[in-house]
Amino acid sequence: MEQNQPQPPPPPGEPPPLPRLVSDILLSALVVIGGAGILIALAMPVLRQGKLIDAARQVCIERSTEARGWLEREDPAAAALRSEWDLALEREGKLLGIDEEVPVRNLLEGLAERFELQILDLHFGTVRRGEAFDAVPGSIRLSGDRAQLPLFLEAFYGQERLVRLVALDLEAINFRSEDINVTLRWEYPAPARRRRDLADPLARWSPPALCATSSLSSVAGWNRGRWHRMDRAASELRALAPRLERLASVDAERRALERERMSLERWQESSRAESRAVKRKLPQLLGKLAVSAVGRAGLRPGPAGTILLVDDD
């Protein structure tokens, strides 16, 4: 009870009593805790930076492993490309190459002379771009004996270059003559002038942006060892870039040649079927021309590879 009683005021002229002191142990603990907090606050960015560097190094290692696995296809991919190139060389004659219009003109002029047909007009149109092939349109106007038309068309479809019918139109010169005017329009396949669908392997197998040497100036001294280990892993991944790009180029070229081969096979099958269909339809076409009120009749490609009779009645 006496301890709770207030202390009497000091006599006049004397200093006040000393305040109650904090324990030395408690004070030391507060100092240690405060110092540790400051150290942790200062060390956290460094530790966080170290974790990011380690994570980037792991990404480089994983991407290098994946890239080396993809590069195991180098030899098979090169062999597949050589095979496609060999097949491409074999089919060159079926395409209309650059600056080959003169040989085609000579061929058609020779066929016309052979079957005693007069060429009224012969020209080639603007190239039509395609995915696997371009198409070069051609047109020829002939005049002569209608009996020679089946022989001319058979020889026309027999040329080495593939053709695809656009239109065949006949016009009677007069009702008492066997001579007719023929307009034949077709397309030749030509090598496509296009950009290859080249996939960029470096978009998938490149070091993270953190690995750029420009980031080194921001690395704390404590993390320099981590940085150098990460940089070695990134350098190993960068060293694979030329091989990755070369393999991607090989794959793109092989895919383009493969599409070309498959498309040309379809074109060839279609051309053969079309040739047979035109041969079957010619008697009907000539018969329709004979009874046409305006003296005109023609053939057009129809759906599913069919050939349709048309007239201007």
pLDDT digits (tens, 9 = 90+) for 62-103: 999 999 999 999 999 999 999 999 999 988 889 988 788 899
| Domain-embedded: residue 9 | no
Query: Which pLDDT does position 225 carry in this prediction?
Result: 83
Residue 269 shares a structural domain with residue 177: yes
Strands 133-145 and 164-172: unpaired
- Residue 68 has a pLDDT of 94
Low-confidence spans in the chain with pLDDT less than 50: 1-2, 18
In a domain, 112, yes or no: yes
Please name the residues in contact with 233: beta carbons below 8 A apart, sequence gap of 6 or more.
Answer: 57, 60, 61, 64, 207
Domain range enclosing 187:
92-195+265-311
Kindly list the distances between the CA atom of residue 26 and the CA atoms of 20, 22, 35, 40, 126, in Å, as whole numbers in the listed order: 14, 7, 14, 21, 95
Residue 1: predicted pLDDT? 46
Q: What is the pLDDT of residue 201?
A: 85
What is residue 168's predicted lDDT score, i.e. its pLDDT? 95
What is this structure's pTM? 0.71
Residues 99 and 145 both lie in one domain: yes
Q: Which amino acid is at 306?
A: T
What's the 3-state SS for 26-92? Answer: HHHHHHHHHHHHHHHHHHHHHHHHHHHHHHHHHHHHHHHHHHHHHHCCHHHHHHHHHHHHHHHHHCH
22, part of any domain:
no
Q: Are residues 119 and 81 in the same domain?
A: no
The number of folded domains in the chain is 2
